[in-house]
Amino acid sequence: MTGLTKEPKGSVKGQDDVQQSRFLDRRTPPHILTLVVCAGLAALSLNVFLPSLSAMATHFGTDYAVMQLAVSGYIAGTAVLQLVLGPLSDLFGRRRVMIGSILIMLVGTVICLVAANVTVFMIGRLLQTAVVAGFVLPRAIIRDTVPMESAASMIAYVTMGMSLVPMISPTIGGALNDMFGWEANFALMLGLGLLTLTLVFTDLGETNHLPATSFIAQFRSWPDLFRSRRFWGYTFTSTFSSGVFFSFLGGAPFVGTAIYHLSPTMLGAQFFLIAAGYMIGNFISGRYTRHFGTMTMMISGSLVSLVGVLITAVFLAAEAPWPLAFFAPLALTGVGNGLTLPSSNAGIVSVRPHLAGSASGLGGAITVGGGAALSTLAATVLKDEGGAMPLLVVMGVTTILALVATVYVRQIDRREGAIPTTDDD
Contact of 247 with 374, CB cutoff 8 Å: yes
Q: What percent of the chain has pLDDT over 70?
A: 88
Top pLDDT among 303 and 171 is at 303
Q: Which amino acid is located at 155 in the chain?
A: I
- The partner residues of 20 in beta bridges, in order of sequence, read 5
Q: For position 37, what pLDDT does the model report?
A: 93
Q: How confident is the model at residue 59 (pLDDT cuts 50, 70, 90)?
A: very high
Q: How confident is the model at residue 217 (pLDDT cuts 50, 70, 90)?
A: low
Q: Report the alpha-carbon distance of residue 291 to residue 199 in Å, rounded.
A: 32
pLDDT at 11 over 50: no
Three-class secondary structure assignment of the chain:
CCCCEECCCCCCCCCCCCEECCCCCCCCCCCHHHHHHHHHHHHHHHHCCHHHHHHHHHHHCCCHHHHCHHHHHHHHHHHHHHHHHHHHHHHHCHHHHHHHHHHHHHHHHHHHHHCCCHHHHHHHHHHHHHHHHHHHHHHHHHHHHCCHHHHHHHHHHHHHHHHHHHHHHHHHHHHHHHHHCCHHHHHHHHHHHHHHHHHHHHHCCCCCCCCCCCHHHHHHCHHHHHCCHHHHHHHHHHHHHHHHHHHHHHHHHHHHHHHCCCCHHHHHHHHHHHHHHHHHHHHHHHHHHHHHCHHHHHHHHHHHHHHHHHHHHHHHHCCCCCHHHHHCCCHHHHHHHHHHHHHHHHHHHHCCHHHHHHHHHHHHHHHHHHHHHHHHHHHHHCCHHHCCHHHHHHHHHHHHHHHHHHHHHHHHHHHHCCCCCCCCC
Q: For position 340, what pLDDT does the model report?
A: 92
**What does the pLDDT look like over 322-361, one tens digit per residue?**
888 888 999 999 899 989 988 888 888 788 777 777 787 7
Q: How confident is the model at residue 260 (pLDDT cuts 50, 70, 90)?
A: confident
Q: For position 232, what pLDDT does the model report?
A: 92
CATH 1.20.1250.20 in the chain: give the residue spans.
23-220, 222-418
List C-alpha distances in Å: 69 to 37, 74, 155, 309: 26, 7, 30, 30
Out of 114-128, 194-208, 247-261, 296-310, least confident range: 247-261
Top pLDDT among 353 and 232 is at 232
Q: For position 273, what pLDDT does the model report?
A: 83
Top pLDDT among 102 and 171 is at 102
pLDDT at 173 over 60: yes
Q: Report the alpha-carbon distance of residue 15 to residue 379 in Å, rounded.
A: 50
Top pLDDT among 161 and 285 is at 285
Q: For position 15, what pLDDT does the model report?
A: 35
CATH class of segment(s) 23-220:
mainly alpha
Top pLDDT among 133 and 379 is at 133
Q: Report the alpha-carbon distance of residue 383 to residue 48 in Å, rounded.
A: 29
Mean pLDDT of 392-412: 93
Top pLDDT among 104 and 272 is at 104
Which of the residue ranges 103-112, 273-282, 327-336, 348-357 has the most confident prediction, judged by mean pLDDT?
103-112
Q: Report the alpha-carbon distance of residue 139 to residue 85 in Å, rounded.
A: 12
Contact of 136 with 87, CB cutoff 8 Å: no
Q: How confident is the model at residue 369 (pLDDT cuts 50, 70, 90)?
A: confident
Q: For position 14, what pLDDT does the model report?
A: 39
Q: For position 364, what pLDDT does the model report?
A: 80
Top pLDDT among 313 and 173 is at 313
Top pLDDT among 161 and 122 is at 122
Q: Report the alpha-carbon distance of residue 259 to residue 326 in Å, rounded.
A: 11
Q: For position 311, what pLDDT does the model report?
A: 95
Mean pLDDT of 206-229: 77
Mean pLDDT of 276-282: 87
Q: For position 300, what pLDDT does the model report?
A: 94
Q: How confident is the model at residue 2 (pLDDT cuts 50, 70, 90)?
A: very low
Average pLDDT, the chain: 82
pLDDT at 95 over 50: yes
Architecture per CATH, 222-418:
Up-down Bundle (1.20)
CA 258 to chain centroid: 29
Top pLDDT among 48 and 188 is at 188
Top pLDDT among 424 and 420 is at 420
**What does the pLDDT look like over 126-167, one tens digit per residue?**
999 999 998 889 888 987 888 766 777 787 778 776 767 866
Contact of 67 with 49, CB cutoff 8 Å: no
pLDDT at 35 over 50: yes
Q: Which amino acid is located at 263 in the chain?
A: S
